Copies of this chain bind each other. A is one copy, B any other.
Amino acid sequence: MQIVSWFEDLQDRICDDLELMDGKGTFVEDRWVRDEGGGGRSRVIQGQHIEKGGVMFSHVYGPMPKQIAQGLKIAENDFAATGVSIVLHPKNPWVPIIHMNVRYFETNTGHWWFGGGIDATPHYIIPEQAGKFHQILKEACDGFDPNAYTEYKKWADDYFFNAHRDETRGIGGIFFDRLSESSGYDKTGCWRFVQDVGNIFVDSYKILFEPNIQQSYSEVQSQWQAIRRGRYVEFNLVYDRGTKFGLQTNGRIESILMSMPPKANWLYNYQPAKDSPEAQTQSLLKKDIDWISYTEV
């Protein structure tokens, strides 16, 4: 299956690039096997810059679990799912957390679709960098459909949202799911787009990583990072469909929860000081910000 091997190769290429970016850490691999069919390669790095990061490949198949069929509102049959998932928690608070996912799903009764996306969660939002990050995502989208960026950016804003705090997880990015013929696309086009998303991941992260990785930081900034990481935990455990799905379907816990930050703090009723950099970031955790406009100064 060409898609599976392309995703495996994507994992290899991204791990190589991230090791170069980290400059010291290397990925450790756990291979795991799923009783009902398939398995994966979980790779985790604990480096000098990437404090904790995971690049996970999986390819699972077999009879479709009842819960999945119900969730998808399709009849139970055999299925296969494959994809690459990434979450990186950098040590330096000036560098954002990044998340990427590309995935493919099919059944033996002819259903198929792609999903995925890239989004970033800066501890400190630097609007010009956020703009450049969105610009690279937009370019990938524009090659697929002129409306895609607008639609998938909104999807990310709506999805990566901590409703209980009325704040976005970060600066969003793009998110899409169930791309298939019923969305008006052919398989070749979808697959090319998903490959583009996978291929631009490292470049999109470099926009957020390289200008900041050598910045010095204080205890106050690490503390704020730990608070922002707490919000990341809240999102992933309360809302994230992939996480909930994994927990409910008896997935491999360590792979599902590799998205958890190495350390997180919860301070009671913490409020950033007025006009502080922390307050500025807080004020930008909103949907529908036109990040790209910040690059046009």
Contacts of A267 in B (CB 8 A): 262
Compute how far the CA of A268 lies from the CA of B164 in the bound complex, rounded to whole angstroms.
28
Contact A263 B262 (CB under 8 A): no
Q: Kindly state the separation between the CA atoms of A297 and B169 in the bound complex, as whole angstroms.
A: 52
Interface residues of A (CB under 8 A from B): 30, 44, 46, 52, 54, 163-165, 226, 230, 233-234, 237-238, 244, 247, 250, 253-254, 256-258, 260-269
How many monomers of this protein are in the complex? Answer: 2
Cβ B253 vs Cβ A268 within 8 A: no
Contact A261 B254 (CB under 8 A): no
Whole-angstrom distance between the Cβ of A258 and the nearest chain B Cβ:
6
Nearest CB in chain B: distance from A175 CB, A: 21
Q: Determine the residue in chain B with the shortest Cβ distance to A235.
A: B237
Question: Could you say which residues of chain B place their CB within 8 Å of the CB of A46?
Answer: 268
Bound together, the chains give a CA A230 to CA B264 distance in angstroms of 9
Asked if B226 and A233 make an inter-chain contact with CB atoms under 8 angstroms apart, the answer reads: no
- Residue of B234, B261, B268 near A266 (CB, 8 A) is B261
CB distance from A50 to the nearest CB of B (A): 12
Distance, CA A253 to CA B237, complexed state (A): 16
A52 to B270, CA, bound (A): 13
Q: A46-B268, A52-B268, A268-B52 are in contact. Are A226 and B164 (CB under 8 A)?
A: no
Given B44, B264, B265, B269, which contacts A254 in the complex, CB threshold below 8 Å?
B269
A164-B247, A230-B260 known; A54 vs B268 contact (CB < 8 Å) = yes
Chain B nearest CB from A167 CB (Å) reads 10
Name the contact of A265 in the complex, choosing from B164, B234, B262 (C-beta under 8 A). B262
User: Contact: A165 with B266, CB < 8 Å?
Assistant: no
Return chain B residues, CB-CB under 8 Å to A269: 30, 44, 254
Note all chain B residues with C-beta closer than 8 A to A226. Answer: 263
Least Cβ–Cβ distance between A48 and chain B, in angstroms: 17
Report yes or no: B254 in contact with A260, Cβ–Cβ below 8 A.
no
Contact A268 B263 (CB under 8 A): no
A244 to B163: give the CA distance in the assembly, Å: 12
B247 & A238 in contact (Cβ 8 Å cutoff): yes
Residues on the B chain within 8 Å of A163, using CB: 247
CB of B268 within 8 A of CB of A44, answer yes
The distance from the CB of A224 to the nearest CB of chain B, in whole angstroms, is 14
For A263, give its contact among B238, B256, B265 (CB under 8 Å).
B265
Cα of A256 to Cα of B24 in the assembled complex, Å: 41
Having A234-B257, A260-B266, A262-B266, one finds 11 other A-B pairs with CB under 8 Å, namely A52-B266, A54-B268, A163-B247, A230-B260, A233-B264, A237-B238, A238-B244, A238-B247, A254-B269, A263-B265, A264-B266
